[in-house]
Structure 1
Amino acid sequence: MDQKKQLRWFTVGLIAFNMVWGLGNVVNNYAQQGISVVTSWVLILVLYFVPYALIVGQLGSTFKDSNGGVSSWVQNTSTKRLAYYAAWTYWVVHIPYLAQKPQAILIALGWAFQGNGNLVNTMPIATVSLISLVIFLIFLMLSTKGLTTLKVIGGIAGTAMFVMSILFILLAVGAPMINSSVEFATPHLDKVSTYIPKFDFGYFTTVSMLVFAVGGAEKISPYVNSTKNPAKEFPKGMIFLASMVGVSAVLGSFAMGMLFASNNIPKDLMANGAYSAFQMLGEYYGVGNLLMVIYAITNCAGQIAALAFSIDAPLKILLADADSDYVPSWLRKKNKKGTLINGYVLTGILVSIIIALPMLGLKNMNELVKWLTNLNSVVMPMRYLWVFFAYMLLNKAHKKFDSEYKFVKNPKIGFGFGLWCFLFTAFACILGMVPKFTYAEDPQGWMFQLASNIITPVVLILLGMILPAIARREKNKAL
C-alpha cells in the first residue's frame, strides 16, 4: 500500500482550515458589514469558496509533479511569459501585506504590555510609520540570514492562533450559559431580518474583504494526490472545509454581535476588536485580562513569523528558477551564501514606500489599519485570478491533460465555473478600491485612499511588465 496516499478527507479538510482561516477574517468583515455579514458568509461560501477549492483540487491533481504552484499551472496551460506574470503577481501582492505586519506587531505588543490599544493610538502617524519601517528592515535583514528558529516559532504560533480562533467562538457563544448577567450588545439577534444585508453599492464595495478572507485555497494543492482516493476523498475534504469555515464564520460573527453593537460598530474594531473581545470574555469568565494577554502574545508571534515567511517564500517562488528572458540578471543575483540579495533590496524599497505613504493623507492609527486592510483586500485576490485563468485553459485543452480528480467532468461547465470565479474576483477587487466612508466625512482621506487603492495595484503590475523589457535589452547587449 502506498504510504503517501494515506490522508483521509477529514485530515485534508483540517489542514486546509488551518491554512485558510483565522479570527481576523471574522473581525474585519464584521467591522465592515455588522451582523448582516452572517448572510454574506453563507453566500460567499456557496457561490465562490466551494467551487474555488474544488478548482484548486483539479489543478493540483492534474499537475501533481509541478513545484511552482500557480505559475506552473499557468505555464502548463499557456506560455512561459504568462507564467512569469503569474509568479510576479504572486510575489508582488505580498508587498502591502508585508507593510501591514509591523503595525500589527506594534498593536499586539501594546495590548500585551499595557492592556489596551493606547500605545499606537496616541502616536502620530509619522512616528508609527518610522517605527514600522525600522521593524520591517530588521526582519528584512534577518530574512537574508535564514530563519530556522522563527519557522519553528511560526508553526507553534500558527497552531495557537487557530486554537484561539476556535476558543473565541466557544467562549463567546457559551458566555450567556455560564454568566446570566451577560447582555447582547446587538438587539434582535433572534430575528431573521437582523441578518439580511442591504444590497446597495456600499455593500458591494465590502465584498473584496470576504474574497480576501476565504482566499488562499491554492496552498491545499500539494495534498490532493496524497489522499487515499482523490476523486472521492478530496471533494469531501473541501466540503468539510467549507462547512468548518461556514460554522466558524457564522458563529464568530454572531459572537461579535453579542459583544459589539452592529448598529454602532467601534471605529477601532479592525485594529483592536479581537483584543477587546478577549478582554470582555475574560471579564465574563472572571479571569481578568488573561485571555487577552494570551491572544496578544500569540498574535504577536504569529505576525512576526508571517512577516519573516512572507519576505522569504514568495521571493524564492519568483526568483529561484526565474527565466532569464523575463527577469534581469541583477535581480537573480545571489551572494556567496546563495541569498537573492537584490530581490531583498527590491522588496525593501517597495514595502518602505507603502509604509511611508500614510504620512501623506491619514490622520490616525485606526485609519491606517483600515486603509492597509482594505488595500490588501484589493491587491491580494489578484493572485487568485491566475488560478481561474489556468483552470479555464485546462478545460479548453482537456484532451491533453489527465487527472485523478475532476471538479466537473464536462469541460464547458468547468470553463463556466472558472469564468464565474474569475469575473467575481475581478469585480470584488475593482469595487473594493472605493473607500468605505463618504467623501463628505473626510475629503482628504477619501481622495488619498481611493488614489492609493487604484495606483498601488497598477504600479505593482506595471513594474512586472518593465522587467522583461530590461531582461531583453540586457540579452541584446550581450549578443
Structure 2
Amino acid sequence: METNQKKLTWYNLALMAFVSVWGFGNVVNGYATQGMQVVISWILMFSLYFVPYALMVGEMGSTFKDSSGGVSSWIKVTVGPTCAYLAGWTYWVVHIPYLAQKPQGIMIALGWAINQNGTLVKNMDPKMLQPICLVIFLLFLWISSRGVNSIKKIGAVAGSSMFIMSLLYILLVIAAPAITNAHTFKLDFSWNSLVPNFDFSYLTSLAILVFAVGGCEKIAPYVNDMKDPAKGFPKGMIALAIMVATTALLGTLSMGMMFDPNNIPEDLMMNGAYYSFQKLGEYYGVGNFFLIVYAIANSLAQVSALAFSIDAPLKVLLGDADKRYVPKSLTKVNKNGTLINGYKMTAVLVGALILIPALGIGNMNSLFTWLLRLNAVVMPLRYLWVFAAYMALKKAVKGKFESTYQFTKNKAFGFLMGLWCFGFTAFACVMGMFPKGVETFTKEWYFQITLNILTPFVLLGLGLILPLIAKKTNKLSGETHDSLGA
C-alpha cells in the first residue's frame, strides 16, 4: 500500500516537468526573434526535437534508476570516468553566462517595480551598470556562502506566482477583445506571415529555441516512481509536449495581438514581459497593477535563481569530485559547508563575463540581448552529453543494461535519433554564435562574435586544464592518481 501511494501518475509527471521546463520568457524570446513565424518553428521544434529528447531522457532515467549524479552518472557507466568528469564540468560551467546575466535581470525587474518603466537599465551606460551588476553578484555570492536558504524558498514561491501569472496573461489577452474595448492587432494567418524564410538569419535564431525547450533531464529520476513507467512515462512526455506546445502557440498568438509583428520593439527580449503586463493592465483598466505584481515576483525569482545557481551546480561538480580530475584545494569547505575555493573560481569567471563585454558593446539593450544569446549558445552544450550517453547506451551489448521503459527497442533507430538530436543541438549552438540585430562587420559585430566563439572554448577548455593541475598538486599533497586519460 505504501509503495502504491507514492507512485506518480502520468499527469503528475507532466505537470512537474512543465513547471521545471517552461516559462513565459521563452514565449517572449521566441516572438522577439522570429515574430509570428515562430509558430511554425515551435511546431517543428516540439515534434522533431523535444519529444524524442524527452523520451530518451525517460529511458536513461529508467535504465540507471539507482544513479544519483544524473547525466554524469549515465556517462560514467556508458562511456567512462574521464568523460563523466567532463560532463560534470560542462554542467557546471555553462551556468557562468547564466550567472552573469542574473544581476541584470534583478536590476531590470526592480526598475520596473519602482518606476513602472524600463528606463532605469535601458538608458544606463554599460560601463556604469556592469560594475553595479558585479557588486550585486558578489553580494549574493557572499550570502550563498553563508548557507542562507530563505532567499531560495521565497524565490520558489515567487517563481510559482510568476508562472501562474504567465498562464493568466495568455487567457486574459485572448479574452480581451470580447470583454473590453482593447485595441489589439489582427492576426495574419497567411502563408507568408507564418512560414519562416529558412535562410542564414533564421538558422542563427535556432539556439534560442533549443535553449527554451532543453533541460528535461531534470525529471529523469522520477521515471521509476511511476505506477507503470513503460506506458505512463511516454504518455506523460507526450502530455508535456502538448502542454508546452499549446502554451507556446497561444502565447505567441497573444504576443501577436499585443505587439505588431511587423514592428517588434528592439528591446522586447529585455523588457517584453513587462510591456506585456503593462498593456494587459491598460486593457482591463487596472493601471500598472499586473506589471507591479509581475515585476516584484520576478525580482524575487531572479534573486532566488541567482543564489541557487551559484551553489547547486558547484556541489554537483565538486561535492563528490574524483581526485584524479579536480585539485584537492577546490574541494575545501568552510564552517558553513561551502566550497569556498569553488566560489572564488566562480567569482573570477563570472566577474570577467560581467565586465569585459561592457568594453565593446555600446548600450544595455545590445548587451542584454547578446548575453541572452550567449546563454543560448553555451547552455545547450550540456544537452550534448545526454545524447552522447543515449547513443552509448544503444551501442552497448544487448542485455548489458535493463530498463522498465524504452523509447525504442530498435538499437539502430535509437542511435540515429540520439545522433540527430546531438547534431542538431551542436549545429544550433554554432549558428547561434553569429550576432543578430547588429550591423554586420561593424566593430561591435566583430567584438560580439569573438566573445561568442572564445567564451565556450575558454569555459570548456578550463575543464581540460584542471585534471593536469590535479595530477601535479594532488601528488604533492601525497595523493597518487592516474592521468587524464585514465
Which runs of 5 or more residues in structure 2 are unaligned?
481-486
Q: Which amino acid aligns with 1:284?
A: Y
What's the CA shift for 1:175? 1.0
Do 1:381 and 1:429's aligned partners in 2 also have CA atoms closer than 8 Å? yes
Matched, 1:458 2:457: yes
Q: How many residues matched?
A: 476
SS in 2 for 1:170: helix
Do 1:7 and 1:228's aligned partners in 2 also have CA atoms closer than 8 Å? yes
Do 2:204 and 2:436's aligned partners in 1 also have CA atoms closer than 8 Å? yes
What's the CA shift for 1:191? 2.7
Deviation digits for residues 376-401 of structure 1 (CA, Å, limit 9, x no counterpart):
00000000000000000011114210
Deviation digits for residues 43-77 of structure 1 (CA, Å, limit 9, x no counterpart):
00000000001111011111111111110010011
2:407 corresponding residue in structure 1: 407
1:431 corresponding residue in structure 2: 431
The 2-side partners of 1:145 and 1:188 are apart by: 51
Larger deviation: 2-11 or 416-425?
2-11
What's the CA shift for 1:437? 3.0
2:170 corresponding residue in structure 1: 169
What's the CA shift for 1:338? 2.3
Q: Which amino acid aligns with 2:227?
A: K
Do 2:145 and 2:336's aligned partners in 1 also have CA atoms closer than 8 Å? no
Larger deviation: 88-97 or 257-266?
257-266
RMSD of Structure 2 on Structure 1 (CA): 1.2
Do 2:214 and 2:383's aligned partners in 1 also have CA atoms closer than 8 Å? yes
Deviation digits for residues 200-247 of structure 1 (CA, Å, limit 9, x no counterpart):
010010000000000110111111111110000011000000001000
Deviation digits for residues 298-321 of structure 1 (CA, Å, limit 9, x no counterpart):
111111010011000000000000
The 1-side partners of 2:328 and 2:474 are apart by: 10
Do 1:437 and 1:446's aligned partners in 2 also have CA atoms closer than 8 Å? no
Do 1:224 and 1:230's aligned partners in 2 also have CA atoms closer than 8 Å? yes
Matches within 5 A, 1:53-452: 53-184=54-185, 188-397=187-396, 398-440=398-440, 443-452=442-451
2:472 corresponding residue in structure 1: 473
TM-score, length-scaled by structure 2:
0.96
1:35 corresponding residue in structure 2: 36
The 1-side partners of 2:290 and 2:208 are apart by: 27
Identity %: 58
The 2-side partners of 1:272 and 1:249 are apart by: 18
The 2-side partners of 1:337 and 1:115 are apart by: 39
Q: Which amino acid aligns with 1:396?
A: K
Do 1:332 and 1:342's aligned partners in 2 also have CA atoms closer than 8 Å? yes
The 2-side partners of 1:180 and 1:352 are apart by: 49
Do 2:388 and 2:418's aligned partners in 1 also have CA atoms closer than 8 Å? yes
The 1-side partners of 2:125 and 2:211 are apart by: 29
Deviation digits for residues 112-167 of structure 1 (CA, Å, limit 9, x no counterpart):
01010011122111111011001100000011111221221122122112101101
Q: Which amino acid aligns with 1:356?
A: L
SS in 2 for 1:210: helix
Cα gap change, 1:11 to 1:119, in 2 (>3 Å):
same
Do 2:127 and 2:359's aligned partners in 1 also have CA atoms closer than 8 Å? no
The 2-side partners of 1:154 and 1:400 are apart by: 43
Cα gap change, 1:136 to 1:443, in 2 (>3 Å):
same
Do 2:51 and 2:237's aligned partners in 1 also have CA atoms closer than 8 Å? yes
SS in 2 for 1:73: helix
The 2-side partners of 1:248 and 1:419 are apart by: 28
The 1-side partners of 2:191 and 2:201 are apart by: 21
2:484 corresponding residue in structure 1: none
Q: Which amino acid aligns with 1:90?
A: Y
Q: Which amino acid aligns with 1:122?
A: N
Q: Which amino acid aligns with 1:421?
A: C
Q: Which amino acid aligns with 1:391?
A: Y
What's the CA shift for 1:438? 5.0
The 1-side partners of 2:360 and 2:4 are apart by: 57
TM-score, length-scaled by structure 1:
0.97
What's the CA shift for 1:360? 1.5
Q: Which amino acid aligns with 1:102?
A: P
What's the CA shift for 1:171? 1.1
Cα gap change, 1:61 to 1:355, in 2 (>3 Å):
same
Do 2:75 and 2:87's aligned partners in 1 also have CA atoms closer than 8 Å? yes
Q: Which amino acid aligns with 1:424?
A: F
The 2-side partners of 1:282 and 1:12 are apart by: 34
The 1-side partners of 2:371 and 2:432 are apart by: 12
Do 2:176 and 2:182's aligned partners in 1 also have CA atoms closer than 8 Å? no
Which runs of 5 or more residues in structure 1 are unaligned?
none
The 2-side partners of 1:459 and 1:26 are apart by: 31
Do 2:7 and 2:226's aligned partners in 1 also have CA atoms closer than 8 Å? yes
